[in-house]
C-alpha cells in the first residue's frame, strides 16, 4: 500500500497486528513489551497470543511471579513495540494493562494452552530467583497442577495510542503517523518522524 491515507493506514496497522498472532514472520509475533520498574524502564520480548481490533486488546501470558507482573501492578501503563526490518515499519502501541489470574480471561487462556507450554508453570522457584546451576527450574513432580495454575497470569493491554513509523531507503521517504483513541475512534494525524 501507499502510506498517504490515515484511515487506510490504520486498517493496515490493525491487520498487521492481528496477523501477528498466527504469522511467525510478523514483527508483532514477538514484540518488545516495556514497563516501568523500580530501577527505571524495563523491556523484554513477549509472545503475542491474542490481538483484536474491536476491543483494542493485546494479550500475552507469563509467570504470575515474574517482574513484569509486579511492575504492572505498580504502573499499569505499557508499550508494545515491533520493528519489521523487511517492510521498514515500526509499530508502537501504548495502553493500560490489566492482570488476570483467577478470572474467566485467565481460565480460557489456560485451557487453550498446549501441554508443552503448561510445563513453564511447573517451577517451584519464582523467575529471577538465584539457581545453583543453569536450568529451566521446571520440576513437574515437585508441584501439582493447581499450583502450576496459580503461577499463571494473563496480561491484557487496551490500546489508547498508536505510533507508526516508516523508514525508507532514502531519508526523505521517512514518515510517521500518530493515532489517539477519543472514546469512539482512533483519531490520526501525520507527525514529523
Neighbours of 20 (CB within 10 A): 23
Beta bridge partners of 93: 80, 162
> Is 175 near a copy of itself (CB under 8 A)?
yes
> Is 157 near a copy of itself (CB under 8 A)?
no
Q: Which of 60, 93, 68, 62 is nearest to 79 (CA)?
A: 93
Q: Could you say which DSSP state residue 145 is in?
A: H
To the nearest whole angstrom, how small is the minimum distance from the Cβ of residue 27 to a copy of itself?
Answer: 10
Among 134, 146, 182, 183, binds a copy of itself (CB under 8 A): 134
Among 57, 107, 138, 158, binds a copy of itself (CB under 8 A): 138
> Is 133 near a copy of itself (CB under 8 A)?
yes
> Is 87 near a copy of itself (CB under 8 A)?
no
The DSSP line for 65-109 is TSHHHHHHHH--EEEEEEEETTTTEEEEEEEEEEEESSSHHHHHH
Q: Binding residues for a copy of itself, per CB under 8 A?
A: 3-4, 30, 32, 34-36, 39-45, 75, 77-79, 81, 83, 85, 90, 92, 94, 116-117, 119-120, 123, 125-138, 170-178, 189-193
Amino acid at each position: 500500500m501507499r502510506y498517504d491515507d490515515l484511515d487506510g493506514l490504520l486498517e493496515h496497522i490493525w491487520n498487521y497486528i492481528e496477523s501477528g498472532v498466527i504469522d511467525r514472520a510478523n514483527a508483532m509475533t514477538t514484540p518488545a513489551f516495556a514497563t516501568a520498574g523500580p530501577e527505571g524502564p524495563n523491556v523484554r520480548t513477549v509472545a503475542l497470543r491474542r490481538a483484536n481490533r474491536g476491543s483494542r486488546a493485546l494479550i500475552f501470558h507469563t509467570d504470575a511471579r515474574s517482574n513484569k507482573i509486579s511492575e504492572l501492578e505498580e504502573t499499569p501503563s505499557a508499550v508494545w513495540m515491533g520493528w519489521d526490518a523487511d517492510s521498514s515499519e515500526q509499530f508502537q502501541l501504548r495502553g493500560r494493562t490489566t492482570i488476570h489470574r483467577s478470572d474467566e480471561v485467565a481460565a480460557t487462556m489456560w485451557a487453550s494452552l498446549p501441554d508443552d507450554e503448561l510445563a513453564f508453570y511447573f517451577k517451584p522457584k519464582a523467575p529471577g530467583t538465584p539457581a545453583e546451576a543453569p536450568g529451566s527450574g521446571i520440576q513437574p513432580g515437585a508441584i501439582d497442577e493447581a499450583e502450576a495454575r496459580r503461577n499463571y497470569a494473563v496480561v491484557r493491554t487496551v490500546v489508547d495510542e498508536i505510533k507508526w513509523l516508516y523508514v525508507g531507503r532514502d531519508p526523505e521517504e521517512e514518515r510517521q503517523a500518530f493515532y489517539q483513541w477519543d472514546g469512539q475512534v482512533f483519531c490520526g494525524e501525520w507527525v514529523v518522524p
